[in-house]
Amino acid sequence: MYDYVYLDNIAIVAAEDIKRLHLAVFGTQIQIIEIAANADLCITIIDSPVTIIGNAYSVAKGISIKRSINSYQYSIKKLVLNLFLQAIEQSFHRRLPWGILTGIRPLKLYRKLNETTCMEDAEYTLKDFFLVSEQKISLLRDIYVIQEQILKKQNINKQVSIYVGIPYCPSKCNYCTFLGYVDRTNEEQAMFFYTLLHELRWTLNWLVAHDMSVASIYIGGGTPSMLSANQIEQLFQTIEQGSNNYCEEITFEAGRPDTITIEKLDILKQAGVNRISINPQTFNEHTLRKMNRKHSVEDILTIYEHARKRNFEQINMDLILGLPNESLADVKNTLQVMNNLLPESVTIHTLSLKTKSKLKEQIPIEDFRRATDIGRMVEASQAWALSAGYKPYYLYRQKNIAGNLENVGYAKSDKYSLYNIYIMEELMPIIGIGCGSVSKIIDGKTGKLNRLPNPSEPQYYIQHIDDIIGKKQKHLPELLTI
């Protein structure tokens, strides 16, 4: 590993990304220093209006790398990262599967490159300059082809999707930093729900008045199934009364079996919900207990059976790879159970050690990064998904993700979640309702994406709902030029 790296006054723009790449490869921090003579690796840049020339060299490692780029095509930062990762590969024979890509949406880059050149040239660029592995390029290609087939069938003009955020949970999972307030008063939860219906009603009325249609609705959280049966019924009555058109996809996260009842499943079915998510994360009892999940494996299997009997069009299940103390054998046990269930779609997450999670306090970042089994877990899950007839259809990445890998959504043919594609690829405006949700308003004239985050604290949300609606009233007209 490198302990000290010198970046000249031009290359220093990539300092933070350099640190992240080194952490991803070795699990350790590096220091950026000011004097080249004391460095394990030196990177220097010569900038000109047309060509940028970069050099990376290490006397101790006996390497010297030179690369020039067109300044109109690539940034200085990207060139520095390319040189740094090449130096790591030559010095230590270590690779990152996603190369220098640090963003959460690598498919957006793949799509952009395809649109400006062709698939062959796009993939060459990903391999040659961004240093992405053949395996990950192949995964991007497979997802891109499927998404293009799906999007050809969709008319996304003058359409939006809606996300409804419910910020309560029965317990806080150790790995989670999503909203999930525990032990809040009944009075607060009732007032939050009343306020949420007000925001939802106003939004739907605005869309109807401006002839905008809703393509998909995703009800997430938190744990939406924390709502009472009566509240779930009211929620869907509000959606039905406020909408003037058919919504192709409605997803409801029923992720925690300890909050789902047969009555709630019946209400969801009658309300026209065609996609529910029941999320085991793992089928190993010892892991469920360690992660503070307040249910058993048997609870998951029971609620899945009840949901299956009600003939929901799609059932999704989420899994997490790399949970503490889970071995490759444990993951294979989970996949064996999944093989008996075969839901319409499966989202396979690689554990991300999030800053505010309880798990972050329990696992040293170095141990997390050095975990050697995670790559084999991902390979096993991908092999299982493909052998079981699933196809990858969306992908995203996170900071501090185990093995510097990815999260992939798999589905049976024609059972793909439209909302997941729209939000991950930012192909459609998303209007967020409730706590912690984020509206993504795409300006039809400029193509600029404006983010309007709702507050995460329920009390603040309740008290400032007029201001929240006021911001939407100001920005939603940008949609009318789509």
User: From CA 63, how far away is CA 273, in angstroms rounded?
Assistant: 59
Domain 149-469 CATH (choose: 2.60.40.10, 3.80.30.20, 3.40.366.30, 3.40.47.10): 3.80.30.20
What residue type is assigned to position 301 of the chain? L
pLDDT tier at 242, thresholds 50, 70, 90: confident
Cα R_g (the chain), whole angstroms: 24
User: From CA 3, how far away is CA 21, in angstroms rounded?
Assistant: 13
pLDDT for residue 93: 93
What average pLDDT does this structure show over 326-340?
95
- The CATH topology of domain 1-95 is Double Stranded RNA Binding Domain (3.30.160)
Tokens encoding 194: 């009343």
What average pLDDT does this structure show over 202-212?
94
Given a cut of 80, whether residue 233 has pLDDT beyond it is: yes
What residue type is assigned to position 230 of the chain? N
User: From CA 236, how far away is CA 204, in angstroms rounded?
Assistant: 12
User: From CA 404, how far away is CA 374, in angstroms rounded?
Assistant: 10
pLDDT for residue 369: 44
pLDDT tier at 404, thresholds 50, 70, 90: confident
pLDDT for residue 227: 95
Going from the C-alpha of 137 to that of each of 315, 350, 378, the distances in angstroms are 29, 18, 16
Sign of the CA dihedral running 168, 172, 173, 175: positive
User: Where does residue 63 rank: exposed (0-12), middle (13-18), buried (19+ CB within 10 A)?
Assistant: middle
Question: Hey, where are the domains in the chain?
Answer: 1-95, 149-469
How do residues 85-123 score in pLDDT, each as one tens digit?
A: 999 999 999 989 999 998 789 999 999 999 999 999 999
Given a cut of 50, whether residue 6 has pLDDT beyond it is: yes
User: From CA 360, how far away is CA 368, in angstroms rounded?
Assistant: 10
